[in-house]
Structure 1
Amino acid sequence: MALGVLNPPMKSSPRESECLDSSSTEEPEPEPGPPLKSYLLLSMFTCLCPAYPVNIVALVFSLMSRSSYYNGDYDGSLRLGKNALYVAIASIIIGLLIIAIICVLHFTPMYH
């Protein structure tokens, strides 16, 4: 038997040729966005401070900033990252004040 009988030549449909043609054209790669500044590590560090409602807000802003960045909203990511930074700094200051007040109250002798 001849090979042509066993394996008849396959005709490609117009759809297959369109797919092949479209895959051969290269689309330009999108430009990379600005660097990610979500301050996630700082926000996670502030979770060790005793200012719990404030440091959780910093962590939420940081996570929202990362989400906006990966969705392509670079301006929103930058804005939320700055908010995360400011709230994290406020959390550290509040935490240090709480620690200082507790130390003063604990080590001050009580006179009656």
Structure 2
Amino acid sequence: MSVMSSGDFRTTRTYETFSFLPPLSQDEIYDQIVYIINQGWTPALEHEAPEKASAHYWGMWKLPFFGMRNPDQVLAELDECRRAYPDHLIRMVGYDNYTQCKGHEFVVYRPRGL
């Protein structure tokens, strides 16, 4: 995580992969979920309030989606997480069980104004 330049926290803070790009479209998020699944990784969602996002680990939305191979199910979980935490940042994670680490992660939702 880095800060691009001095100024307002809400407009300058960047988070994870792709944070230098404009927000991803639904189709682009879908493509990244397909990529995670095609790598054999386990999709998962994490969320945190923006003011605490760099202070500690993010909370996990449910358990990682072990064995979930349908990107539409992952998107449904993302929508449910957004409804439950509309003021939190949400990121998608791809856990690689072979290397036992995150193979991919990126922010998929930012509250308005971030």
Normalising TM by the smaller chain, what interval? under 0.3
- Structure with the higher fraction of residues in helix conformation: 1
Normalising by structure 2, report the TM-score.
0.26
Q: TM-score, normalised by structure 1?
A: 0.26
Question: Which structure is higher in RCO with an 8 Å CA cutoff and minimum separation 6?
Answer: 2
Higher strand share: 2
